[in-house]
Amino acid sequence: KYSRLKPSFNQPMDESAVEEIKKKSQIGGSLQKPHIVAGLDCLGRTSHGVGIAHLKADIANLQLTDIDLLEKYVHLQDVNLHNNNLTTLAPLAHLPCLVRLRASRNKLEDPNCTNVLHGQVSYLNLSSNQFPQIPVHSQLRFLRELYLDSNNLTSLDTLCTELQNLRVLSVQKNKISDVSALTKIQPTIQKLHLDWNDVMDLSPLIPLAGQLEELTFQHNEVMHLDALSSFKHLTNLNVAANNLNTLDELKHLQNLSCLAELQYFDNPMCFPPMPDLKDPDEDDETDVVATDDVNSQQIVKLRRNPIKTDPSEAQFYSMKKL
């Protein structure tokens, strides 16, 4: 129904010309026409298919407090409002074709501010704002990617059940401890990022085992990985900087045949004294290979053979470089 974003049919504006326009326009305050002129891009067919219009607007890093002028550009499909001083998204109610919105690093705090968005939005980035709860509502039923990093979230309880098309959810750097509300959207989510929160228990994620492909929760309080033993489709897992005390926890991952990358640095199990720290013989069939020393990032590539967790073989996890 809506035009896909394609490379502009016209020649892109010279970068020096864009900078000149920005210098002549006021930074901060209200959105002005020179801001729009400098940011418009990607000519394409309108949603009705009978005209040509700019489909993309980059209005980032301008310290704007209002974007009222934007409501005149009704054919926009992709809008970047990153790093301004916005407290409302009301003018976006006049953009019925909007598909992608980046409004990160603003001063948004009202969870109802997204009610003005039309239902075909599929990408929404509201990171680095001040939301106390999930600011997404039932009209965004086609949403596929949602980014809410660095807000004031303490719970996921307000996550609406209508988000049945959501594939990517990122809520890093909040204060979330309970993730059980994620079961509301469990049929679809494939990539989940929970880094820098207060999660202790992963068992509420078990209903996601059938489709989750990427899971990151570094810098939490997790002590056990047994809840992940059934996540057969996981290809990327980051458990760094938690409270994993023993290498035996990795045994729960040994049947995850799709797992290609594992990061587990800065856990208590990474720092005990290790005997005979040297590279294993190249002829030995090791199942786990990692990078750098115990104080560096350890990225593990796993084969399909079971993971070795004998303490005497612990150097395999931390010493041999990829």
**pLDDT tens-digit readout, 34-58:** 999 899 999 888 877 778 999 999 9
pLDDT at residue 303 greater than cutoff 70: no
Which two tokens mark 251?
């045994």
d(CA 49, CA 272): 65
> What is the SS3 assignment for 71?
helix
d(CA 133, CA 131): 5
**Residue 124 vs residue 282, higher pLDDT:** 124
Q: Lowest mean pLDDT of 130-144, 196-210, 277-291, name the range.
A: 277-291
d(CA 267, CA 60): 38
Q: Are 300 and 261 in contact (CB under 8 A)?
A: yes
Q: Are 297 and 261 in contact (CB under 8 A)?
A: no
- 12 burial (CB, 10 Å; 0-12 / 13-18 / 19+) is exposed
**pLDDT tens-digit readout, 218-268:** 999 999 999 999 999 999 999 999 999 999 999 999 999 999 999 999 999
pLDDT at residue 316 greater than cutoff 80: no
pLDDT of residue 281: 56
d(CA 215, CA 195): 9
pLDDT at residue 273 greater than cutoff 90: no
Q: Which of 175, 169, 173, 251 is nearest to 205 (CA)?
A: 169
- At residue 285 the predicted structure's pLDDT band, cuts being 50, 70 and 90, is very low
> Looking at residues 141-170, what average pLDDT do you find?
94
